[in-house]
Chain A
Amino acid sequence: MPFLEVNNLCKRYDATQALAGVSFSIGGGEVLGLLGPNGAGKTTTLMIMAGLLRADAGTLSCEGRPLDPTAPAYRRSLGFAPQNIAAYPELTALENLRFFGRLYGLKRSDLATRAAEILAITGLAPRQHSRVATFSGGMKRRLNFGIALLHRPNLLILDEPTVGVDPQSRAHLIGQTRALRDQGVSVIYASHYMEEVQVVCDRVAIMDQGRIVVADTLRNLLHRLDAETLVEIPATACEQLDALTQAADRVEQRGDRLVLAVRQPDDNGASGIGPAVSRLLAVLDELRLPVLSVTTKRPDLEQLFLRMTGRELRD
């Protein structure tokens, strides 16, 4: 049974249908990546899940039981890191942690321990007494993340947690998210960074125009796309172009080389040599053309995302 289920959420802002029946689920200790172009409805979905917005229709359920997102018990189990840096710039990192810890009812001794842990996790311990206004973008992001973890939530909602941070902070945040998954925390990870989602998420849901277009494990999603094997031969082989275009899906010239591309279903694991590639290699052998290189380009999430949501610009 999934830890949390979202069923048929609908939300309309005046004339705009922001959500048109969003449904997905997340298991315990799972990281679900929520992807979608701008205006797809990701933030609206997350805000409804955090109890900040009321859905026009649809339900949430936790372990099979109906869930009221405004119920204090749910709120105590929810960690929320909004897209903005939601910390007080006039206060120090430690003061921010203490304040939010008190709101979640942490006792004084527990709060001190937990704040120290969070400062260590986020790497902010040396600057705990500095005002947040003096922090770099990466430090602010780490604090934003840390505040969401303070009260040991079971469900963590991260809305674009790595926007505008340097690679070090990004790697740190991704590492911490994976550590949380290992501790059994369920994480909903909304992001525009595909490589990041590919690294950190167990399952991915792609949204577009207020709907979930596809939701599955990363492996299953990637198998929906064909891998592409590129075989390079000398450009002098142009004389046999007819035979080559029959054997390859695409032929293009790159300088003094011809590149022959062959698509094949991505179900061969790391080997990458399928029947289509074997056929092409046999043709090249018959024509006595030398093979300069063979590379297989595996499908990635970005390709899948563009395939699912299209390439037209969004507002």
Chain B
Amino acid sequence: MGIRSIITKDLRVLTRDHRALAVLLVMPMVFIAILGFSTGQLIGWQNENTSLTLMVDHPADDPFSGRFVDLLRRREGLVVAVASDAASARKEVDDGNCTAALLIGPAFRERVSGLRLRDALQPEQGALAAGLAGLDVAIHTQRTQPIAQTLTRQLVWATALRFIVNETLERDPLARAYLAHASPSAATRPALVEECPPQTWVTPGDFRVMAYQIIVPAYTVLFAFFLINIMARSFLSERRQGTLDRLRVAPIGPFVLLVGKTAPYYLLSVAQGVALFAFGRLLFGMSWGSAPGMLMLVVACTSLAATTLA
């Protein structure tokens, strides 16, 4: 009875102390939200920012380069749009509407057609040693976005290699004969490499979500220990205003007093942890893992550690 009375009283006092409530419940959310703003991970921004957007200019009357663009479209984490010409593709990049412009020149078909399978298998030594430039392909990005430029270049290069392997396999008689022998249906397949199990590429967005997998729990711990300050303030104000003496004179033991004064802050800390994880999931798409119940246990134990320390 005594414990419940003290808990109820302290929770009531806390709900009327708007400053403490703000520090305990609102501030962690604001803090996390500020992080979201600073990294562009708030809800609504996330889908845009987890993908690289590529504006492509290629010869309109060339189905060969069109096949390469289709292959690019199938890449996870890459959004591809076709521009009317190279100048407008560059302008889209300069205006910040897309990550990069991919400019495929008129010699692309001829350069790819001149390659053999060994060029694709040893790209750093043969005709592909010049990289994308050797295929009459250029990438335009903003100078202030070196990471985006690098990521785009690697994605396009990897896709180009796959495209080249498919094309050279189609033309190689030995390879076609081998495929026909190994599996009659394989020879008719348009792209051997496409049959490989889809690879899970880590996109920039994935990195950010992974960051929140760390940041949200870290701030949960930080704010749980921040509670110590509020809890100590509660004890001190009881002492200053003389109510602690009144509680000590009451016919309740020290255990009742200690638990009664500690439990509200424990409950509050658990609520804070749950709110932070819910907030992290809603706003940043963080994962709760395969056993959210265990996560709850971690929150409960962290709160217990913080309140007992206080």
Report yes or no: B249 in contact with A80, Cβ–Cβ below 8 A.
yes
Given A76-B251, A103-B2, A105-B251, A90–B245 Cβ distance below 8 Å? no
Indicate if A190 sits at the interface (CB-CB under 8 A).
no
Cβ-defined partner of A91 (8 Å) among B6, B9, B246, B251: B9
Q: Cβ of B233: which chain A residues have Cβ within 8 Å of it?
A: none
Given A91-B12, A91-B13, A85–B241 Cβ distance below 8 Å? yes
A250 to B272, CA, bound (A): 79
Q: Cβ of A52: which chain B residues have Cβ within 8 Å of it?
A: 245, 248-249
Cβ-defined partner of B242 (8 Å) among A51, A85, A90, A103: A85
Size bracket, chain B contacts = 20 to 34
A287 to B246, CA, bound (A): 68
Q: How far is the CB of A278 from chain B (nearest CB, A)?
A: 56
Residues of A within 8 A of B (CB): 47, 50-52, 72-73, 75-76, 78, 80, 82-91, 95, 99-100, 102-105, 131, 147
Residues of B within 8 A of A (CB): 1-2, 5-6, 8-9, 12-13, 16-17, 240-243, 245-252
Q: Cβ of A51: which chain B residues have Cβ within 8 Å of it?
A: 248-249
Q: Taking CB as reference atom, which chain B residue is nearest A73?
A: B251
Report yes or no: B9 in contact with A99, Cβ–Cβ below 8 A.
yes
Q: Cβ of B2: which chain A residues have Cβ within 8 Å of it?
A: 102-103
Q: Cβ of A100: which chain B residues have Cβ within 8 Å of it?
A: 246, 250
A131 to B38, CA, bound (A): 42
Report yes or no: A104 in contact with B250, Cβ–Cβ below 8 A.
yes
Known: A50-B245, A84-B245, A105-B1. 12 other contacts (CB 8 A): A75-B251, A76-B251, A84-B241, A88-B241, A88-B243, A89-B241, A91-B9, A95-B12, A103-B2, A103-B250, A104-B251, A105-B251
A52 to B248, CA, bound (A): 7
Chain B at the A interface: mostly helix, strand, loop or mixed?
Answer: helix
A112 to B5, CA, bound (A): 15
Q: Cβ of B17: which chain A residues have Cβ within 8 Å of it?
A: 90
Q: Cβ of A89: which chain B residues have Cβ within 8 Å of it?
A: 241
A104 to B251, CA, bound (A): 6
Please, could you name 6 A-B residue pairs with CB atoms under 8 Å apart, sorted by A? A52-B248, A82-B245, A95-B12, A102-B2, A103-B250, A104-B250
Report yes or no: B12 in contact with A103, Cβ–Cβ below 8 A.
no
Q: Taking CB as reference atom, which chain A residue is nearest B16?
A: A90
Q: How far is the CB of B300 from chain A (nearest CB, A)?
A: 28
Q: How far is the CB of A108 from chain B (nearest CB, A)?
A: 11
A41 to B9, CA, bound (A): 34
Report yes or no: B250 in contact with A86, Cβ–Cβ below 8 A.
no
A47 to B245, CA, bound (A): 9
In this complex, the member of A75, A89, A91, A103 whose beta carbon has the largest number of chain B beta carbons within 10 angstroms is: A103
Q: Cβ of A75: which chain B residues have Cβ within 8 Å of it?
A: 249-251
Report yes or no: A103 in contact with B243, Cβ–Cβ below 8 A.
no
Q: Cβ of A147: which chain B residues have Cβ within 8 Å of it?
A: 246
Q: How far is the CB of A116 from chain B (nearest CB, A)?
A: 19
A186 to B117, CA, bound (A): 108
Q: Taking CB as reference atom, which chain B residue is nearest A75?
A: B251
A282 to B252, CA, bound (A): 71
A182 to B180, CA, bound (A): 115
Q: How far is the CB of A242 from chain B (nearest CB, A)?
A: 62
Cβ-defined partner of A72 (8 Å) among B6, B9, B12, B251: B251
Given A90-B16, A91-B12, A91-B13, A84–B242 Cβ distance below 8 Å? yes
A72 to B9, CA, bound (A): 22
Q: Taking CB as reference atom, which chain A residue is nearest B14?
A: A90
A105 to B243, CA, bound (A): 18
Report yes or no: B242 in contact with A82, Cβ–Cβ below 8 A.
yes
